Amino acid sequence: MTEVAPALFVALEQSGFAASIRQSTWLYPAANIGHIVSLTFFAGAIAVMDVRLLGGLAATAPARLLARARSFALAALAGMAMTGAVLFSAEASHLAVNRAFQLKVVLVAAGLANIAIYEFWARRAVDRLQPGAPMPPGAKIAGACSLGVWVAVAACGRSIAYF
């Protein structure tokens, strides 16, 4: 890792905030555990939503099922963002030039863009559907993209340690 990180990330890593994370015995491991626990909740909620969008779990109307899963997913996403910020700050200059981390950031952005596209263009039609109704193609595409992207995000996250 001879590549030099942008000054912003070097400054973040050298900040008192980042130093206190590194120097605490429990903070870094706690953030690590929190990140993984949030991930499991997020993966579970997202899997339920994506399977519903793809036409599975059709006994319940999509609006109700998606609303319940969505609140879990949002809480878990917030948990991952907070714990991720702690983990990132401690090693910002390394992570900023880490290829797996860079790819992960791009994929997270793609995952969030997929959610935004769904919310604007497909959600209204889906929320009106009755139990067992066939899902519109837009919903299926959003569900398939979501599954692929978030699995890839998890894989990239785990790969950071190996690059």
Partner 1 sequence: MMKPILFVSAFALLTSAAVAHHGWGSYGAHNPITVAGPIATSKFENPHATITVQASDKIWTVTLAPTSRMNSRGATEKVVAIGQNVSAYGYPSTVQKDEMRAERITVDGKTYEMR
Could you list the residues that contact partner 1 (CB under 8 A)? 1-2, 19, 21-29, 36, 39-40, 43, 47, 50-51, 54, 56-57, 90-91, 147, 151, 154-155, 157-158, 161-163
* Residue closer to partner 1, measured from CB, 61 or 151: 151
* Residue closer to partner 1, measured from CB, 120 or 162: 162
Closest distance to partner 1 from the beta carbon of 150 (Å) = 8
Closest distance to partner 1 from the beta carbon of 101 (Å) = 14
* Residue closer to partner 1, measured from CB, 17 or 120: 17
Sign of CA dihedral 163, 29, 73, 119: negative
Whole-angstrom CA distances from 134 to 65, 70, 113, 125 are 15, 21, 24, 11
Closest distance to partner 1 from the beta carbon of 109 (Å) = 20
* Residue closer to partner 1, measured from CB, 23 or 60: 23
Closest distance to partner 1 from the beta carbon of 71 (Å) = 19
Task: Write the DSSP string, the chain.
Answer: --PPPPHHHHHHHHSHHHHHHHH-TTHHHHHHHHHHHHHHHHHHHHHHHHHHHTT-STTS-HHHHHHHHHHHHHHHHHHHHHHHHHHHHHTHHHHHT-HHHHHHHHHHHHHHHHHHHHHHHTHHHHHTPPTTPPPPHHHHHHHHHHHHHHHHHHHHHHHGGG-
* Residue closer to partner 1, measured from CB, 105 or 120: 105
Closest distance to partner 1 from the beta carbon of 134 (Å) = 14
